[in-house]
A = this chain, B = another copy of it.
Amino acid sequence: MTAGWVVVAGLGPGADTMVTPEVSAAIAQATDIVGYIPYVARIAPREGLTLHASDNRVELDRAAHALHMAASGARVVIVSSGDPGVFAMASALFEALEAAPQYLNTDIRILPGITAMLAAAAAAGAPLGHDFACINLSDNLKPFDLLARRIRLCAQADLAMAYYNPRSASRPDTFGKVLDILRTECAPHTLITFARAVSTPDQRIETVTLDMARDDMADMRTVVLVGNSATRKLGRFVYTPRKAL
């Protein structure tokens, strides 16, 4: 067997109705599914399909495993939540590939998905309707000083912002410090939307002004959307006009 491949597929934020047909077709053709436990749990078991669920923080091992199986002819789908290219498994796969160049000729495809910020923005209205930045608040991946600098510069650029992974038990202070930075750079009436568990039965969307925002409004299932200076409320919606102020 030499026709193995690796697909990195985005399952979207949670609802099965947000999984693209392209991704569903790849899963239907797979012999092996690799991924973080809750994402693999979304795949229906069937004969001929092996599910390899692994814990968080082993992304490189998981990617190397997928490349290894594909070299033996397996058709492997690495499942990612949201979009695999946004703070998810696609970069991890290429890091693993760079460390294992014997797999460079592997048939690899990345299939996009609905990333959390797009589903969150749609549920809230259109807060990302003008220029914006997308920032991972996890400081496993960069020093806090760099994160702080980025947030300051984006605020000075009057960009709306989407924050992924705002808060976790291992770094409970980061998001509070980010709110402090925003308070020095943005007006108190800047709108902040907390979108939790978007597209799932647990979905909760809450919009407050920056002066009322508290760090405990976010957890690891939350995407935070910060408006720009023109972002406004309209009935139950939040939106950013297309034109700059």
The residues of A with any CB-CB pair to B shorter than 8 Å are: 12, 15-22, 25, 59, 83-87, 90-95, 97-98, 104-105, 108-115, 118-119, 121-123, 125-136, 141-143, 146, 149-150, 153-154, 156-159, 234-235, 237, 239-244
Contact = CB atoms under 8 A, between A and B. Distances in A.
Query: Chain A's interface: helix, strand, loop or mixed, by majority?
Result: mixed
Contact of A128 (B85, B98, B104, B125): B85
Given A97-B234, A118-B85, A126 B141 contact: no
A125 B129 CA distance: 26
Residue from A20, A112, A113, A241 with most neighbouring chain B CB atoms (10 Å)? A112
Given A90-B239, A91-B240, A244-B141, A85 B121 contact: yes
A12 B122 CA distance: 14
Closest 6 CB pairs of A and B: A91-B129, A142-B244, A90-B126, A94-B239, A17-B22, A110-B122
B239 A91 contact: yes
Contacts of A235: 97, 104-105
Given A83-B114, A153-B157, 20 more contacts: A12-B20, A16-B21, A17-B20, A18-B20, A18-B22, A85-B121, A86-B118, A87-B242, A90-B126, A90-B129, A104-B234, A109-B122, A131-B136, A131-B150, A133-B133, A141-B242, A150-B157, A150-B159, A153-B153, A154-B159
